[in-house]
């Protein structure tokens, strides 16, 4: 069955536009509570956390009311990173966790992510069951069966200690000067403690959320200010999280961006050096071919999943591998965390630096990213990518790349465009190839 509300990363949209409305969230909470109650019995516990968007308070209250009306207990975390909600769901023996967040999107968007009792994304079966329950009339359980809502007041401290433990007691960040960009998001009260308690000289920026400034020219999607700050204070590096704390990117001491592909390479090479490497890692269709070529030199395969952390995690599980990630900085180290965790991933990168006694740039010496061009071509809904004209130009471009590049045509999941991505050794050549394909798409459309 096709889902009506759940996408690849929960339910997301603009606040006030269906389904991101208070009445829908009330019904969603009730429907979820009903489904979890059928599975777990009376009064299942559901954890709720959120990022720093102003609308989070409104949706938190609506979800809480719906869950309680369905006979579920609720534990409220307040503003907390998405991976912290996954952790608390596991450690509190909860039936599920809910995150109110739109990740790296602006403040006027919001969304809902669910975690299973194991801190992983919900199964398709469970999501479909919740959607089916949404269509039923909302009926409150008997007063004696109503759930209770409480606050888990020590959640931040628990998560901080968890993050620090993943770094290893034998390591220290003493002598390292780092700028940390919290995107005015959910890591604002967590990341400063983690890095300073591990010994780093931490210069914290974008850690004053007001409900409206989340991801506003800061964080992992906008590193210009971070780069300038790193250079201005003479830091060794900078770290940027996104609004809900599940993504991370770095900048080096010169303020040059180190993206998710490069961080995945550093993590893999650290595991090679310490004898913990798997035979492969998982990237996505958008992962730079330079990563694939660099890993191949060490006999490590790069398998590509569809874009989205859910697809990355699924392929990791199928292959039995422990590392995966996206260029955006959503990295999964499944042997230390069940989900993408920006702080934990950052600490894994810093552990590689500490163990090797090398800078970020030195750790990247074995990887050269190929130039990449991405064009968005407006198309009609009926566009057929299998048409002879499109197949013909695709074949010609792939032959011209001689195995030292890639062409990818990918329909957008959110707008009527085809994304044309071309990689290769020469920027000038791939720009020409991308435009050639775009022209054919435009003509066919």
Residue range 384-403, pLDDT digits in tens: 888 899 999 999 999 999 87
Domain boundaries, the chain: 11-153, 158-363, 372-444
User: Is 158-363's fold the same as 372-444's?
Assistant: no
In angstroms, the CA 99 to CA 82 distance is: 6
Cross-strand pairs, 100: 50, 112
Average pLDDT rounded to a whole number, residues 328-352: 96
Q: What is the tens place of the pLDDT at every residue in 91-124?
A: 999 999 999 999 999 999 999 999 999 998 899 9
For residues 32 and 114, the answer to whether their CB atoms sit within 8 Å is yes
Taking the C-alpha atoms of residue 262 and residue 284, their distance in angstroms, rounded to an integer, is 13
Phi, psi of 223 (to 5 degrees): -100, 10
Given a cut of 70, is residue 130 above it in pLDDT?
A: yes
Reported confidence tier of residue 414, pLDDT bands at 50, 70, 90: low
**What is the arithmetic mean of pLDDT over 163-175?**
96
pLDDT at position 317 is: 96
Q: Which long-range contacts (CB under 8 A, 24 or more apart) does 387-395 make?
A: 387/444, 389/440, 389/443, 389/444, 390/437, 390/440, 390/441, 390/444, 393/436, 393/437, 393/440, 394/437
Handedness of CA 311, 312, 313, 319 (dihedral sign): positive
Which CATH code fits 372-444? 3.30.310.50
How many CB atoms sit inside 10 A of residue 436's CB? 16
Which residues are the active-site residues? 103
Give the model's pLDDT for residue 444. 86
Instruction: Estimate the crossing angle of helix 56-69 against helix 22-40, to 10 degrees.
Output: 40
Q: Which CATH class is domain 158-363?
A: alpha beta
Q: Give me the chain's average pLDDT, please.
A: 95
Structural domain 11-153, CATH architecture: 3-Layer(aba) Sandwich (3.40)
C-alpha span between 150 and 74 (Å, rounded): 6
- Indicate the helix (H) or strand (E) that contains 295: helix 289-296
Mean pLDDT of 8-37: 96
The answer to whether the bond into 19 is cis (omega within 30° of 0) is yes
Q: Looking at per-residue confidence, does 211 or 416 come out higher?
A: 211
Helix (H, G, I), strand (E, B) or coil at 245: coil
For residue 37, is pLDDT > 70?
yes
pLDDT digits (tens, 9 = 90+) for 190-239: 999 999 999 999 999 999 999 999 999 999 999 999 999 999 999 999 99
């Amino acid at each position: 069955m096709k889902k009506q509300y759940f996408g690849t990363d929960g339910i997301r949209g603009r606040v006030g536009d269906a389904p991101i409305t208070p009445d829908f969230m009330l019904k969603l909470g009730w429907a979820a509570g009903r489904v979890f109650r059928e599975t777990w019995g009376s009064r299942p516990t559901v954890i709720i956390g959120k990022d720093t968007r102003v609308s989070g308070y409104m949706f938190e209250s609506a979800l809480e009311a719906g869950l309680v009306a369905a006979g579920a207990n609720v534990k409220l975390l307040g503003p907390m990173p998405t991976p912290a909600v996954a952790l608390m769901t596991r450690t509190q023996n909860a039936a599920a966790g809910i995150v109110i967040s739109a990740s790296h999107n602006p403040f006027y968007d919001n969304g809902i992510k669910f975690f299973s009792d194991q801190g992983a994304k919900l199964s398709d079966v469970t999501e479909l069951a919740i959607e089916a329950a949404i269509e039923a009339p909302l009926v409150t359980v008997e007063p004696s069966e109503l759930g209770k809502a409480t606050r888990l007041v020590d959640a931040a401290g628990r998560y901080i200690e968890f993050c620090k433990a993943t770094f290893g007691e034998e390591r220290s960040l003493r002598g390292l000067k780092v700028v940390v960009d919290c995107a005015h998001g959910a890591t604002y009260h967590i990341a400063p403690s983690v890095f300073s308690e591990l010994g780093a000289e931490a210069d914290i920026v974008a850690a004053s959320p007001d409900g409206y400034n989340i991801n506003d020219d800061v964080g992992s999607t906008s590193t210009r200010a971070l780069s300038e700050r790193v250079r201005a204070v003479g830091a060794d590096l900078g770290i940027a999280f996104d609004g809900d704390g599940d993504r991370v990117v770095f900048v080096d001491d010169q303020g040059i961006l180190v993206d998710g592909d490069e961080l995945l390479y550093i993590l893999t090479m650290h595991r090679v050096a310490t004898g913990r490497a798997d035979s492969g890692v998982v990237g996505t269709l958008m992962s730079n071919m330079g990563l694939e070529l660099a890993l191949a030199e060490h006999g490590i395969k790069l398998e590509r999943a569809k874009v989205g952390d859910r697809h990355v995690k699924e392929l990791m599980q199928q292959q039995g591998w422990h590392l995966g990630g996206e260029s955006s900085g959503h990295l999964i180290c499944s042997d230390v965390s069940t989900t993408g965790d920006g702080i934990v991933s950052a600490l894994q990168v810093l552990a590689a630096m500490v163990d090797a006694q090398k800078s970020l740039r030195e750790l990247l010496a074995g990887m050269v990213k190929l130039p990449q061009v991405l064009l968005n071509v407006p198309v009609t809904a009926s566009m057929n990518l299998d048409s002879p004209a499109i197949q013909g130009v695709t074949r010609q471009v792939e032959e011209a790349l001689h195995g030292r590049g890639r062409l990818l045509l990918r329909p957008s999941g959110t707008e009527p465009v085809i994304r044309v991505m071309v990689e290769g050794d020469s920027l000038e050549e791939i720009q020409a190839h991308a435009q050639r394909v775009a022209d054919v798409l435009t003509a066919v459309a």
